[in-house]
């Protein structure tokens, strides 16, 4: 598979202060490869370096060290060629406040070299895609946060980018609006077969959108892999909680494949297993055959939040994972 992004040894430092200058290394030797057509997520807490990395990869910021190729082009030598084929949308959308939705879209379309019927056709299609028709004459400063974000996404598709950068695309939005934005991102990516690199600290968003994920903390990548593979790497075990009537044979529990540990108290049982989805059915059948009547059964599986917490424990070491 061809690479949309290839970054090697990316380092970026910032200076602060006037009299006593302080130097902070924000990115510490980042290596990253993103395949064409992939939705790739960069996860990490605030201050991890996500936005700085995205700014460098989108050619808005130069690194201090490192090599970058975007869509096969040297980003340090031919950034202008890359900018013709990429675009970016930020969760902190910023447009000309006094212009309406339609005026802003026409303004940016002009900057991207669109004119006449081609411009109007493209704008009309994006208005339909992001459901902006009822808001065309509303000035930007009167839009809700969700509408501002939808306008930002529409703007980012005006030039039909091969590679789209999304910086916290649903930050500050309520769950319903966030879900709608995620659906629009997925629909757009599938329709255009574009590559998307997004930054977020929303684990559920990353899991629903991304083919692969990189965990970033303190300027270093801790792990790269699919959501499923990353969860397997750190999995201690899944938890099955059972409320029951009757009795449970502890001897039978210990003999069952996949059981790591368990505890029984009154008429409830917590069983740690290697894979909850795989073991829940056989476990329920075993307990029922032994005379227990199951009243309620729930599964608690490892999620990306657990993965990030686990990798964060090793932030001070040189340990890294690629799965």
Contact in structure between 276 and 240 (CB atoms under 8 Å): yes
Predicted pLDDT of residue 261: 81
Structure confidence at residue 197 (pLDDT): 98
Identify the pLDDT of residue 56: 97
Predicted local distance difference test score (pLDDT) of residue 25: 95
3-state secondary structure of 49: coil
pLDDT (tens digit per residue) in 29-66: 999 999 999 999 998 888 889 999 999 999 999 999 99
Rg (CA), the chain: 24
**277 has a pLDDT exceeding 70:** yes
Confidence (pLDDT) at 233: 67
Query: How many Å apart are CA 301 and CA 271, to the nearest integer?
Result: 12
Task: Give tens-digit pLDDT for 253-271.
Answer: 878 888 888 888 888 988 9
Residue with tokens 């879900």: 179
39-43 and 212-217 strand pairing: parallel
Tens of pLDDT, residue by residue over 131-153, are 999 999 999 999 998 899 999 99
Q: Which residue has the higher pLDDT, 179 or 307?
A: 179
Say if CB 6 and CB 68 are below 8 A apart: yes
Distances (CA, A) of 307 to 42, 77, 199, 320: 14, 37, 17, 13
> Which residues have C-beta within 8 Å of that of residue 214, sequence separation ≥ 6?
32, 40, 41, 42, 43, 221, 223, 224
pLDDT of residue 317: 45
φ, ψ of residue 303 to 5 degrees: the values are -125, 180
> What global pTM score does this model have?
0.79
Looking at residue 188, its pLDDT comes to: 86
- How far is Cα 166 from Cα 185, in angstroms, rounded to an integer? 10
pLDDT at res. 239? 84
At residue 322 the predicted structure's pLDDT band, cuts being 50, 70 and 90, is low
Domains along the sequence of the chain with CATH: 1-85+161-233+303-323 (3.40.50.300), 92-160 (no CATH), 236-301 (3.30.70.100)
pLDDT tens-digit map of 173-228 = 788 878 888 888 888 898 888 999 999 877 788 888 999 999 898 999 988 999 88
Q: Is 256 exposed, middle or buried (0-12, 13-18, 19+ CB in 10 A)?
A: middle
93-133 residue pLDDT tens:
889 999 999 999 999 999 999 999 999 999 999 999 899 99
* Cα 97 to Cα 155, 158, 276, distances in angstroms: 15, 19, 51
Cβ contacts of 210 within 8 Å, gap of 6 or more: 39, 40, 41, 198, 227
Q: What is the pLDDT of residue 276?
A: 84
- Strands (DSSP E) contained in 17-131 are 22-35, 39-43, 65-70, 73-74, 86-90
Contact present, 30 and 203 (Cβ < 8 Å): no
Q: How far is CA 318 from the centre of its chain?
A: 24
Among 137, 168, 130, residue whose Cα is nearest residue 151: 130
> How many other C-beta atoms lie within 10 A of the C-beta of residue 313?
11
Rounded Cα distance, 94 and 110, in Å: 17
| pLDDT the model gives residue 318 | 46
Lowest mean pLDDT among 17-31, 153-167, 168-182: 168-182
């Amino acid at each position: 598979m061809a690479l949309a992004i290839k970054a090697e040894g990316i380092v970026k430092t910032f200076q602060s202060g006037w009299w006593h200058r302080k130097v902070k290394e924000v990115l510490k030797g980042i290596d990253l490869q993103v395949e064409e057509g992939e939705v790739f997520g960069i996860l990490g807490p605030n201050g991890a370096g996500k936005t700085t990395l995205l700014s460098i990869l989108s050619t808005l910021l130069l690194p201090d060290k490192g090599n970058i190729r975007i869509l096969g082009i040297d980003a340090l030598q031919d950034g202008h060629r890359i900018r013709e084929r990429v675009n970016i949308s930020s969760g902190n959308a910023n447009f000309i406040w006094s212009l309406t939705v339609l005026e802003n879209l026409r303004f940016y379309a002009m900057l991207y070299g669109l004119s006449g019927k081609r411009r109007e056709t493209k704008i009309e299609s994006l208005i339909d895609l992001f459901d902006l028709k009822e808001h065309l004459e509303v000035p930007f400063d009167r839009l809700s946060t969700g509408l501002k974000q939808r306008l930002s996404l529409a703007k980012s598709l005006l030039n039909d980018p091969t590679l789209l950068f999304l910086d916290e695309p649903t930050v500050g939005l309520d769950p319903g609006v966030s879900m709608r934005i995620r659906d629009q991102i997925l629909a757009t990516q599938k329709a255009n077969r574009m590559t998307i690199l997004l930054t977020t600290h929303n684990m559920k968003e990353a899991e629903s959108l991304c083919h692969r994920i990189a965990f970033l903390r303190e300027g270093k990548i801790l792990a790269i892999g699919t959501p499923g593979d990353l969860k397997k790497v750190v999995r201690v075990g899944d938890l099955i909680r059972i409320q029951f009537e009757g009795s449970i044979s502890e001897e039978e529990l210990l003999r069952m494949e996949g059981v790591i540990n368990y505890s029984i108290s009154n008429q409830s049982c917590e069983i740690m297993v290697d894979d909850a989805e795989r073991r829940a059915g056989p476990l329920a059948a075993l307990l029922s055959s032994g005379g227990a009547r199951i009243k309620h059964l729930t599964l608690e599986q490892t999620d990306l939040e657990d993965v990030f917490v686990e990798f964060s424990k090793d932030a001070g070491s040189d340990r890294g994972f690629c799965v």
